[in-house]
A and B are shown apart, each in its own frame.
Chain A
Amino acid sequence: MPRNPQLNGNGELQHLLSIEGLPREILVKILDAAESFVGVTERDIKKVPLLRGKSVFNLFFEGSTRTRTTFEIAAKRLSADVINLNVAASSTAKGESLLDTVANLSAMQADIFVVRHGSSGAPFLVARHVKPHEHVINAGDGRHAHPTQGLLDLYTIRHYKKEFGGLVVAIVGDVLHSRVARSLIHGLTTLGVPEVRVIGPQTLIPAGASALGVRVFHSMREGLKDADVVVMLRLQNERMSGALLPSAQEFNKHYGLSLEKLALARPDAIVMHPGPMNRGVEIDSSVADGPHSVILPQVTFGISVRMAVMSMVAGGG
């Protein structure tokens, strides 16, 4: 196995491409830094001068206003200049390659590239070709990883549960196509969560799931039992009916999170969702808006986590 391309020669975070392969200490350091940034986001003036003069390029080859906005807010709160590029609509349509686009922007003096791409591994390719002072943050690549989402999920879990040891975390739904699930699973196992479960029909659980260190369940009744944390995954519209699933209704009946199913989890369980939610499909409104839901705090923590990641990569770990 080649050296982990995310770490520099001193073992510090050079890029954030995936949670997989990051040592526990780095994950903890990111979460700790995020905690101190939460203090900043609670002030009237929600801005610190840490990245003043640095340029952050939001390079979204796949549209996502929400994620792009959270990175933009995080960068601005660090006083960086943010340039948003909706590459999906511009250069690739003209046939420019991913690396050409990056080379062009690099010539405009970039410091951080926030990359979202539809193909798994694209940010690794970018990271291999940027200059030594440039940093790449993966904002979601294909089905592979969404490390800042994984980190904010970890932050949220730590915020509400304090410790990772002893937890039972259940991740429910379309694990096969979920980069969020992959990132979270690696984070949870690295931080010592003893039991990570994935729950879904066989069609939505990848072939090698157990090799990720999770227990696979096909029944909510069994999988949610005594769970401390329930993470619901988004089910994409185009996958709701076809060869993977017959219908959104049938999925909801078996795998949608209702109050009744949530009752199987521990009484103090928290419910998370990476958003945007399909109410009535993977999660019922009564749960999404109920007392167990920490879905909105997740969004708030997401800003601080992204501030922490940006300041760690740009500051050489």
Chain B
Amino acid sequence: MAALPDAEKLCAQLVRALQGVVGPSTAMVGIHTGGAWVAERLHAALALKFPLGLLDPAFYRDDYAKQGLAKDPKRSKIPFDVEGKDLLLVDDVLYTGRTVRAAMNELFDYGRPASIALVVLAERDGRQLPVCAQHAGARVEVPAGMRLRLRRDAEGRLSLELERAA
């Protein structure tokens, strides 16, 4: 099995890719928790005008009936007016697409953005919805029964890891 890509390098790569698309109405929203870590890096590096927004789409998930309320839902915070913005929606790993669906639903409850582009650190197979990333750092093969996770250590360094799916 190939080694997992270095998350720090992927971040840098994404920054380079995004520098070309940032405009005056560009704003960024990170999805809790891993997406928020990535978004913090990108947001700082790109020096965006609007403050970073954070989203926990726990209340919009479609697995609530099966799983119940997420363990520890975080408070969503969008400190700018969503109306008319070109949004960069940031997550760590794109898998089924359900989280992105929930996040977009929540975003529209804040207002009507001009556009949304999806930015992910890594994507893997297994899409269950017609969702694709406009900017993906890497494509990773994930063996059956495993899941890909982003971790952040005490020094704030990001790394990708494989772990057994629950």
Q: Which residues of A contact B (CB under 8 A)?
A: 12, 29, 32-33, 35-40, 43-45, 47-50, 78, 311-312, 315-317
Q: A50-B64, A315-B67, A315-B68 are in contact. Are A44 and B110 (CB under 8 A)?
A: yes
CB <8 Å contact, A49 and B105: yes
CB <8 Å contact, A33 and B73: yes
CB <8 Å contact, A315 and B69: yes
* Per-position 1/0 for B50-76, Cβ under 8 A of A: 000000101110001101110011111
CB <8 Å contact, B69 and A48: no
CB <8 Å contact, A311 and B69: yes
Is the interface on chain B under 10, 10 to 19, 20 to 34, or 35 or more residues? 20 to 34
Give the CA-CA distance A44 to B108 in the complex, in Å: 11
Give the CA-CA distance A38 to B60 in the complex, in Å: 15
CB <8 Å contact, A36 and B109: no
**Which residues of A are found within 8 Å of B58, using beta-carbon distances?**
36
**Which residues of A are found within 8 Å of B73, using beta-carbon distances?**
32-33, 36
CB distance from B89 to the nearest CB of A (A): 17
Give the CA-CA distance A310 to B105 in the complex, in Å: 21
CB <8 Å contact, A317 and B68: yes
Nearest A residue to B81, CB-CB? A44
CB distance from A241 to the nearest CB of B (A): 47
Give the CA-CA distance A197 to B59 in the complex, in Å: 38
B106 at the interface (CB under 8 A from A): yes
* Per-position 1/0 for B90-123, Cβ under 8 A of A: 0000000000000001100111000000000000
**Which residues of A are found within 8 Å of B65, using beta-carbon distances?**
315
Give the CA-CA distance A45 to B106 in the complex, in Å: 10
**Which residues of B are found within 8 Å of A39, using beta-carbon distances?**
75-77
CB <8 Å contact, A33 and B69: yes
Q: Which residues of B contact A (CB under 8 A)?
A: 56, 58-60, 64-65, 67-69, 72-77, 105-106, 109-111
CB <8 Å contact, A40 and B76: yes
CB distance from B52 to the nearest CB of A (A): 15
Give the CA-CA distance A67 to B36 in the complex, in Å: 37
CB <8 Å contact, B110 and A45: yes
CB distance from B72 to the nearest CB of A (A): 6
**Which residues of B are found within 8 Å of A33, using beta-carbon distances?**
69, 73
Give the CA-CA distance A38 to B56 in the complex, in Å: 13
Give the CA-CA distance A45 to B83 in the complex, in Å: 13
CB <8 Å contact, B64 and A315: yes
Give the CA-CA distance A45 to B59 in the complex, in Å: 13
CB <8 Å contact, A48 and B75: no
CB <8 Å contact, A49 and B59: yes
**Which residues of A are found within 8 Å of B76, using beta-carbon distances?**
36, 39-40
- Identify 10 new A-B residue pairs, CB closer than 8 A, beyond the known A36-B76, A50-B59, A50-B64: A36-B58, A39-B77, A40-B76, A48-B60, A50-B69, A311-B64, A312-B68, A312-B69, A315-B65, A315-B68
CB <8 Å contact, B68 and A49: no
CB <8 Å contact, A316 and B68: yes
Which one, A38, A44, A48, A316, contacts B106 given CB within 8 A?
A48
Give the CA-CA distance A317 to B59 in the complex, in Å: 14
Nearest 9 CB-CB pairings of A with B:
A315-B68, A48-B59, A45-B109, A39-B75, A316-B68, A36-B73, A315-B69, A36-B75, A50-B59
Nearest A residue to B71, CB-CB? A29
Nearest A residue to B74, CB-CB? A36
CB <8 Å contact, A311 and B67: no
Give the CA-CA distance A43 to B65 in the complex, in Å: 25
Which one, B59, B74, B111, contacts A40 given CB within 8 A?
B59
CB distance from A227 to the nearest CB of B (A): 30
CB <8 Å contact, A49 and B110: no
**Which residues of B are found within 8 Å of A315, using beta-carbon distances?**
64-65, 67-69
**Which residues of A are found within 8 Å of B111, using beta-carbon distances?**
44
Give the CA-CA distance A35 to B68 in the complex, in Å: 17
CB <8 Å contact, A12 and B59: no
CB <8 Å contact, A43 and B109: yes
**Which residues of B are found within 8 Å of A45, using beta-carbon distances?**
109-110
